[in-house]
Amino acid sequence: MADDEIDLLDPEAGEGEGFGDEWESIDVSDTEADRIARKRDRKFTQFRERLKDADQFKVEQAVFDDATFAALYKLVQDGYVDAFGGPISTGKEANVYEALGDDRDVAVKIYRINASDFRHMRDYLDGDPRFEGIGSDKGQVVLAWTRKEFANLSRARAAGVRVPEPIAVERNVLVMELVGHADDRARRLAEVQVENPQTAYEVVCEYMRRLHRAGLVHGDLSEYNLIIYEGELVVIDLGQAVTVHHRNADEFLRRDCRNVATFFGRQGLAVDPDDLYESVTEAEPQVGGTLDELDGRDAGRNATE
Ligand SMILES: Nc1ncnc2c1ncn2[C@@H]1O[C@H](COP(=O)(O)OP(=O)(O)OP(=O)(O)O)[C@@H](O)[C@H]1O
Ligand SMILES: [Mg+2]
């Protein structure tokens, strides 16, 4: 492995931090963005009108409410975003835009309060100890959801899983590292020719194991939420990830295993979802376990393309 390459499976990552049971409580009280939206001073109003006129936001005029524009305004004021670029994706619940951050390109994920399938979100939030006491207000649920994605990204990253670095969260807007570049984007695993499926599979398996040891289950893992850039696999879309204490955590993990096994099965590997599940949930290996083995094989890099 060359010096400048990122070691996907850093054996030191996540060690000694006592993952598993801890959880951070999440505050959903009134945000600065809400106050900005209420006050509607001249500068905010100008900002909002400018953004509404910008080509890439035109379609969203009816969708983004004032509080969302206020969240974007706050992120600009705080220096996390300097300029907004084009849309990367318009999903069921969120729009992702590329943007110019402080010193690099960033991805801005905006959850649409109105479009959000509120009941679906509740299913994931209820039973997660981090979200006890979240009321039934739709805005609060979406806000909790966005904070949850930020917290999940932080926790996954600390556990040595390659995810976009979370940068800032404001209300229903999440700013994170853009994987790849504005003019050369990362692609979904589903869109690329996987040239070394065995290695790619082992990397995904190790990520799932690390997530699990960090007390998390992704809950929507598939070739659509794994992106790849320069041979490096990155796990995205952790909004729905739950802690292992969630009553449906096991069901979600089994589904993740099935999705991953099916995808790699199509790539010609014989992967049994139950074996994958066992390997993800098995107790931490003693000295010299799977990480060392994988490390020796230069896993992760050049897995595809
Ligand atoms: N940090 C990032 N860097 C580069 N591309 C990203 C990043 N985050 C998201 N994307 C792109 O945007 C798409 C949508 O992101 P994500 O899956 O997080 O949102 P989503 O609303 O859940 O979308 P969907 O409903 O399609 O699953 C991804 O498939 C990916 O192509
Ligand atoms: Mg997705």
Instruction: Answer whether 228 contacts ligand 1 (Cβ < 6 A).
Output: no
Determine the residue of 88, 116, 176 to mutate for testing ligand 1's pocket, defined as the one with the most ligand atoms within 8 A of the Cβ atom.
Answer: 88
pLDDT tens track for 175-234: 999 999 988 989 999 999 998 999 999 999 999 999 999 999 999 999 999 999 999 999
**Catalytic (active site) residue 275:** no
Question: Which two three-digit tokens encode residue 109?
Answer: 């994920």
**Catalytic (active site) residue 220:** yes
38 part of a folded domain: no
H or E element, residue 74? helix 66-77
For residue 236, the CA-to-ligand 1 centroid distance in Å is 7
Atom of ligand 1 nearest to the CA of 88: 12
Look up the domain containing 216 and give its range.
186-296
Instruction: Answer whether 189 contacts ligand 1 (Cβ < 6 A).
Output: no
Longest pairwise C-alpha distance within the chain: 62
214 part of a folded domain: yes
Instruction: Answer whether 176 contacts ligand 1 (Cβ < 6 A).
Output: yes
Specify the range with the lowest mean pLDDT, choosing from 57-61, 107-111, 290-294. Answer: 290-294
- Among the bound ligands, the one closest to the CA of 187: 1
What is the DSSP secondary-structure string of 133-175? T--S-HHHHHHHHHHHHHHHHHHHHHTT---PPEEEEETTEEE
271 part of a folded domain: yes
Instruction: Answer whether 175 contacts ligand 1 (Cβ < 6 A).
Output: no
CA distance linking residue 128 with residue 247, whole number of Å: 8
85 part of a folded domain: no
More confident residue, 84 or 21: 84
Specify the residue with its C-alpha closest to ligand 1, atom 1. 178
Instruction: Answer whether 94 contacts ligand 1 (Cβ < 6 A).
Output: yes
H or E element, residue 256? helix 249-266
Specify the residue with its C-alpha closest to ligand 1, atom 24. 91
Using DSSP bridges, classify how beta strands 166-170 and 173-177 pair: parallel, antiparallel or unpaired: antiparallel
Among candidate residues 34, 128, 237, 256, the one labeled active-site is 237
The mean pLDDT of 58-78, rounded to a whole number, is 83
CA distance linking residue 102 with residue 80, whole number of Å: 6
Contact 171, 71 (CB under 8 A): yes
203 part of a folded domain: yes
170 part of a folded domain: no
pLDDT tens track for 134-182: 777 777 888 889 999 999 999 999 999 999 999 999 999 999 999 999 8
pTM: 0.84
The pLDDT-based confidence of 104 (bands split at 50, 70, 90) is very high
Number of domains in the chain: 1
For residue 187, the CA-to-ligand 2 centroid distance in Å is 12
For residue 219, the CA-to-ligand 2 centroid distance in Å is 11
- Among the bound ligands, the one closest to the CA of 91: 1
The CATH number for 214's domain is 1.10.510.10
For residue 163, the CA-to-ligand 2 centroid distance in Å is 13
Q: How many CB atoms lie within 10 A of CB 1?
A: 13
For residue 33, the CA-to-ligand 2 centroid distance in Å is 26
Residue-level pLDDT at 194: 92
